[in-house]
Amino acid sequence: MARGPVAIGAPFARWPGTAAAVLVLALTLGTLAAVLWRAGGVGWAAGDWQVVRFTILQAALSAALSVTLAIPVARALARRRFPGRGLLITLLGAPFILPVIVAVLGLLAIFGRGGLVNAGLGALGLPPLSIYGLHGVVLAHVFFNLPLAVRLILQGWAAIPAERFRLAASLGLPVGRLLERPMLRAVVPGAAMVIFLICLTSFAVALTLGGGPRATTVELAIYQALRFDFDLGRAALLAAVQFGLCALAALAVWGLAVPDRMGAGLDRVAERWDGAGRPERLADALAITLAALFLLAPLAMVVARGLPGLAELPPSVWRAAARSVVIALASAGLAVALALALALRGGVRATLAGALPLAASSLVLGTGLFLLLHPWVNPATLALPVTALVNAVMSLPFALRVLAPAVARIEAGHGRLADALGLTGWRRLRLVTLPRLRGPLGFAGGLAAALSIGDLGVIALFAGPQTETLPLAMYRLMGAYRMEAAAGAALLLLALALGLFWLMDRGGRGDAAA
């Protein structure tokens, strides 16, 4: 698999990519500059060092636990074939695209004060556990990112050629030391970095499970500075600190990763003789079962508690759901367009521009846009379009991660023939690239739509009663202690997120066997 996007060599493919990169830079760094300019300087509160320390601690713990727990699960899935394996792998990916506020409600149903775990502890005469604070934030982040780590590491195992396993088995060589450890050294740092960056910019999890000033992330502190104090200088400085932390994490992992240079195989299905023993089979079964229970039980509780709550939903929630669907579709279309332009443009600059939103604060981005628009138009009237634009930019890194390797494979397989036939520009894109990108485009669009429909970020700052989205409506129901209605809204949001993802992914695959 290519390590990054590559250009298809035509000027047609370069100028849209350059324009997309400039737009992303303007929206991330330009909005930060706008907030700094309006603030007239930076500010720093007494407790901000504690905020930074907590943010780094929870992100590091979340990334370490997610990757550590994902290794045995990915290994078990890599060397076991059983009925329903493909469906299980698909379901294990659901928490990553799950709206954060929905997942939090599911986790509360399992680990909250009235959850199943505390009910069991009470029956045994043991004291209850609290999900709020550092351990609650880490638990939620592991729930979200364990599936992502499993998928990334599973791809690493699938990339080891079957011929290497056959050779190791015939010579009696240790598979773990010779094949699996080099692969993990190449894959794990990148997976850990992505999860660390996701957790570093966490907002909704800390908002609902943080548990007070000692459990506040940088992104939540930015929200508090903007929402309650309107301290633009402090918000801008915290956003700059977040940028710096993300850059340092990326540089650290860049030096730690060791690429695998052992060559390619013939794309045969690997036979794993190393896991044929009874202890190995039991260990793999235990890893898969525990992971499935941990990831799917909260989803089951959301469904079980949400069905009765559907009848309790007020009309405003259904209108909010319609707004969320429109925003998600617009955001997905824009995110896919930007990711495709950057993937076709290729190069290091396009890769960096596509990854930059991972380090950005969506709250500062939205605030900067409102400050820039304020002299010409009432920003409140543009709350929904700005939310769609911000959501598109924030989902860009994930869409680019899907499209860039696909574009690289198409160029490697068909680029020379297209050059020989004189196919350039739009004709090359229409006849060679887009037909083979149908599946990745659908997957990227579904991922962007699912991430957008569940976002509780910019809209929490600027939405009024007539512009609230479904996640914000659900959060307000929880704040009003209307838990049955909130559970119904959670089920509705879950159905919409998974439905949009499935429709776009299925539409992209078409009739292809996938």
461 vs 9 pLDDT, higher one: 461
| Cβ(394)–Cβ(357) below 8 Å | yes
% of the chain residues with pLDDT over 90? 9
Please state at what angle helix 278-309 crosses helix 134-159, rounded to 10 degrees: 130
Q: What is the pLDDT of residue 61?
A: 94
Name which of 42, 60, 387 is nearest 202 in CA terms.
60
Look at 106-110, 120-124, 417-421, 505-509 and tell me which has the smallest mean pLDDT. 505-509
Phi, psi (deg, nearest 5) at residue 211: 80, 25
From CA 151, how far away is CA 154, in angstroms rounded?
Answer: 5
Phi, psi (deg, nearest 5) at residue 386: -65, -40
- Burial grade of 87 (CB within 10 A; 0-12, 13-18, 19 or more): exposed
* Segments in 112-133 forming alpha helices (H): 116-123
Round the average pLDDT of the chain to a whole number and report it.
78
Q: What is the DSSP letter of 125?
A: T
| Span 303-322, pLDDT tens digits | 888 888 888 888 888 999 99
Please check the confidence at residue 273 and state whether its pLDDT lies above 60: no
| Span 340-383, pLDDT tens digits | 888 888 777 777 888 888 878 888 888 888 888 777 777 667 78
Reduced DSSP (H G I as helix, E B as strand, rest coil) percent helix, strand, coil of the chain, to 5: 80, 0, 20
Ramachandran category for residue 6: left, alpha or beta (phi over 0 → left; psi -120 to 50 → alpha): beta
**What global pTM score does this model have?**
0.77
Count other C-beta atoms under 10 Å from residue 507's C-beta: 14
% of the chain residues with pLDDT over 70? 80
388 vs 43 pLDDT, higher one: 388
Count other C-beta atoms under 10 Å from residue 168's C-beta: 18
Q: What is the pLDDT of residue 9?
A: 47
| Cβ(58)–Cβ(138) below 8 Å | yes
Please check the confidence at residue 35 and state whether its pLDDT lies above 80: yes
| Most confident range, picked from 212-216, 263-267, 331-335, 342-346 | 331-335
From CA 315, how far away is CA 102, in angstroms rounded?
Answer: 20
Question: What CATH topology corresponds to 42-312?
Answer: MetI-like fold (1.10.3720)
**SS3 call for 107:** helix
Residues of the chain with CATH 1.10.3720.10: 1-40+320-514, 42-312
480 vs 393 pLDDT, higher one: 393
Side chain identity at 336, as an amino acid letter?
A: V
Q: What is the pLDDT of residue 487?
A: 86
The mean per-residue pLDDT over the stretch 49-77 comes to 90
Q: What is the pLDDT of residue 512?
A: 41
Q: What is the pLDDT of residue 7?
A: 44
| Span 412-454, pLDDT tens digits | 666 666 666 666 666 676 666 777 777 788 888 888 998 888 8
167 — pLDDT class (breaks 50, 70, 90): low
CATH architecture of 1-40+320-514: Orthogonal Bundle (1.10)
Q: What is the pLDDT of residue 58?
A: 92
126 vs 318 pLDDT, higher one: 318
For 42-66, the DSSP string reads: ----TTHHHHHHHHHHHHHHHHHHH
